[in-house]
Structure 1
Amino acid sequence: MRIVADRSRCEGLGMCEAMEPEFFEVGEDGTVVVLDDQPDEARRTEVQAAVDSCPVAALSLQG
């Protein structure tokens, strides 16, 4: 599984960071930074919930 961020869509609302701060961070430029784009499969449920929490659909999971 791989986390993909569309930084052009990101509005820096930080829902992903609030839910999974070890994988997401809102950078100094106000857009998401993916800290670990290939999380362990055991974390799929939590990471998927954080991805789904993005109100502008700037995040997705592949694989």
Structure 2
Amino acid sequence: MNATNDIYALDALCDLGNTRKESPVGGPWQDSTRVGGHLMRIELDQARCEGHGLCEEAAPNLMHLDDDAELIIDVPEVEGDDLAKAQAAVRVCPVAALRLA
């Protein structure tokens, strides 16, 4: 199985879409402000992130893991093709550390 198939298999297996918990007001999300128009913001809950790297595989032009396996969001505001990649990254995160707002 290749990396793309692994991502789709994990996405189908985990389908966390309906089980994600929203962060409480003042919670650990980096930024919860909604950007106007179709522009969306990638938000990371650093406390949840375990550095699996599946999000990086899904959207390498938007985020990467540093040398300490900490996720770095390189492009926090996305739209169009990048939005689709960000949505894929959110879906494959096994610990629900990413969301779009």
Q: CA RMSD in A?
A: 1.0
What is the percentage of aligned positions where both structures have the same residue? 41
Counterpart pick for 2:74 among 25, 35, 45:
35
How many aligned residue pairs are there?
A: 61
* Stretches of 4+ aligned residues off by more than 4 angstroms: none
**Consecutive unaligned residues in structure 2, runs of 5 or more:** 1-39
**Consecutive unaligned residues in structure 1, runs of 5 or more:** none
TM-score of the superposed pair, with normalisation by structure 1: 0.87
Note the alpha carbon deviations across 1:6-63, whole angstroms, 9 max, x for none: 1111000000111111111112222211001002x2122221011111000000000x
TM-score of the superposed pair, with normalisation by structure 2: 0.57
Larger radius of gyration: 2
Q: Which has the higher helix share?
A: 2
